Amino acid sequence: MTTDRVPAFGEIDPPARLLMGPGPINAHPRVLRAMSAQLLGQFDPEFTGYMNETMALYRQVFQTGNRWTFLIDGTARAGIEASLVSLLEPGDRIVILSAGRFGLLLREIAERCGAEITVVEAEWGQVIQESSIEQAVSRVRPRVVAAVYGDTSTTMAQPIAGLGRLCARHGALLYVDATATLGGMDVPVDAWGADIVTAGLQKCLAGPSGSAPITLSERAAARIDGRRHIERGIAGGGDRPASGLRIASNYFDLAMLMDYWSERRLNHHTEASSMLYAARECARLVVEEGLPARIARHRVNGEAMAAGLVAMGLTLFGDQANKMANVVGIEIPSGVNGERVRTRMRTEFEIEIGSSFGPLAGRIWRIGTMGYNCRRDAVLITLGALEAVLRAEGVALRSGAAVDAARARYAVAGV
């Protein structure tokens, strides 16, 4: 056993990188300032007031009247897992739409819940047709249909608009993972008829990873309440007996979390105070800007980035009729070392762009225009840097074409 003394190391001082990948992105300075606010006890009236304000703000962000609109402490995946583990019992049937890494993640979590799974698939870079979904749902009669609206692994946005009606016709609940789209693309929860929608802060909401906004319909809340068990150490004499099969996870038990966020404030865990401050400020930024303006900003900057990449002679990946507004995939040119380009972007320009996973590993780059980084200067700087690196790697490009094309797109938009 070593007795060497561990050094104290230095104070954290990360470089000021421009994060232009598919997420996380740079947090808005206002969000970082909110996170530095003093901590309070989780039952302090000031703090529970912030909880109520956060719920009200996210109802506007999600475009919903749902009472049960709150936060899950954890990354975006915490919201996904809480939703599925609280909805699904062993043997329940679920139809999962899968056309990328995060559709496969839904399947992974549903398998761990012991669900009976039917997957409706499309090739990575495509979306799933509603007719194929209808066939599967009418045949399987599932308890849940689960979809990803904006799979950053492929940069495709699965159409959601008709799925709520489809699910209602067949008695299914609709779960939507909107991690990469909430606050940057239109996520009209009530208009969709979605039953649970979750997200994360680290994409279009311009915050750090670590808090997962969630909203539940009354139908979903009733299903989850039917499995409600109160933890023994906090149960009171007036609590009704346990009902239904207990949710398999304690931490991700949405029934207990609903009690915690209700007027009763039945203790579940110690709230992540600084993350709540961050999530509240993220939502304030959305509401102040206004959803239509914010969605338009993401669309215009995404179009400018895409225009610049095409002018550079690069090929955009996937079905362009169904691409995300805030992340673009680019095919890596033949003969170009994609990882070396990413390294040079980071070391020479302090800019991060993304690669991808699975069948797309080494085939595409992914560039995001999200949240605080969804702005003209970030787009133009990234395009200029990528052009310079590609030229240094021996790719023949017309100097300045990318930036010129992006600026022309901004001019058309009057930005």
- Distance between CA 191 and CA 174 in Å, rounded? 13
**Six-digit token pair at 253?**
């038990």
What φ, ψ does residue 266 adopt, rounded to 5°?
-70, 115
CATH superfamily of 290-413: Aspartate Aminotransferase, domain 1 (3.90.1150.10)
**Per-residue model confidence (pLDDT) at position 121:** 97
* Intervals of CATH 3.40.640.10 along the chain: 29-287
Question: Which residue in the block uniquely carries the two structure tokens 């970030």?
Answer: 378
Return the CATH fold of 29-287.
Aspartate Aminotransferase; domain 2 (3.40.640)
- Per-residue model confidence (pLDDT) at position 193: 98
pLDDT score at 2: 62
Query: How many other CB atoms sit within 10 Å of the CB of residue 36?
Result: 8
Maximum Cα–Cα distance for the chain, whole Å? 76
Can you list the residues of the chain whose pLDDT is less than 70?
1-3, 237-238, 240-242
Residue with tokens 């309070």: 40
pLDDT in tens, 224-238: 999 988 887 777 766
Query: Tokens standing for 320?
Result: 């362009």
pLDDT the model gives residue 344 = 98
Q: Which residue, 154, 95, 180, is CA-closest to 130?
A: 95
The dihedral region occupied by 168, where left means phi > 0, alpha psi between -120 and 50, and beta the remainder, is: alpha
Whether 127 and 78 have beta carbons less than 8 Å apart is answered as no
**What span, in angstroms and rounded, lies between the C-alpha atoms of 194 and 172?**
10
Other CB atoms within 10 Å distance of the CB of residue 33: 12
pLDDT at 178: 98
Give the pLDDT score at 3.
Answer: 66
pTM value > 0.85: yes
Going from the C-alpha of 148 to that of each of 118, 156, 196, 263, the distances in angstroms are 15, 10, 12, 32
Written as one string, the DSSP assignment of 40-82 is --TTSHHHHHHHHHHHHHHHHHHT---SEEEEEES-HHHHHHH
Cis peptide before 22 (omega within 30 of 0): no
